[in-house]
């Protein structure tokens, strides 16, 4: 594993407890704040934001194990290395920030950031996949 991938993996490991804290916060709201459960759009988007953060951070660590084995230029490899963690930030921000108020009945316009995050995620995964397929067999 390259030093760039190892450094990013270390940062992701340090960030991951924030996802755990977020899960505990959502659980506390489910138990202690009946208004949280009364707003289905907020409840569902916050749950989706938390789930996407956790899954995409794990996927980020997996991608880091492969990105250094690709046949890609250094700049493209950097994009591939950063794309999944960036999506892991963009998608939850879109979900959480689009329904900040307990009175919100529809997501705000920032929910469209999720589409941009999805594009970044797909582009990064396709880049790593192509880079791995381009690498000659040993």
Q: What is the mean pLDDT of the chain?
A: 89
The model's pLDDT over 98-110, given as tens digits with 9 standing for 90+, comes to: 887 778 888 889 9
pLDDT of 55 strictly over 90: yes
97-104 contact pairs (CB < 8 A, 24+): 98/45, 99/39, 99/41, 99/42, 99/45, 99/46, 102/35, 102/36, 102/39, 102/42, 103/39, 104/39, 104/41, 104/42
DSSP state of 108: -
Sorted by where each begins, the domain ranges of the chain are 3-134
**Separation CA 105–CA 99 (nearest Å):** 8
**Separation CA 117–CA 93 (nearest Å):** 10
**Separation CA 103–CA 89 (nearest Å):** 25
Residue with tokens 């999506």: 87
pLDDT of residue 87: 96
pLDDT band at 39 (very low <50, low <70, confident <90, very high): confident
């Amino acid at each position: 594993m390259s030093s760039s991938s190892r450094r990013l993996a270390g940062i992701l490991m340090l960030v991951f407890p924030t996802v755990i804290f977020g899960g505990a916060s959502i659980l506390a709201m489910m138990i202690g704040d009946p208004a949280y459960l009364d707003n289905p759009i907020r409840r569902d988007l916050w749950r989706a934001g938390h789930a996407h953060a956790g899954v995409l951070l794990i996927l980020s660590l997996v991608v880091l194990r492969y990105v250094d084995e690709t046949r890609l230029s250094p700049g493209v490899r950097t994009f591939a290395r950063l794309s999944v963690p960036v999506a892991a930030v963009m998608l939850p921000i879109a979900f959480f920030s689009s329904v900040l108020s307990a009175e919100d009945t529809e997501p705000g316009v920032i929910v469209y950031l999720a589409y941009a995050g999805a594009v970044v995620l797909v582009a990064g995964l396709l880049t790593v996949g192509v880079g791995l397929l381009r690498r000659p067999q040993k």
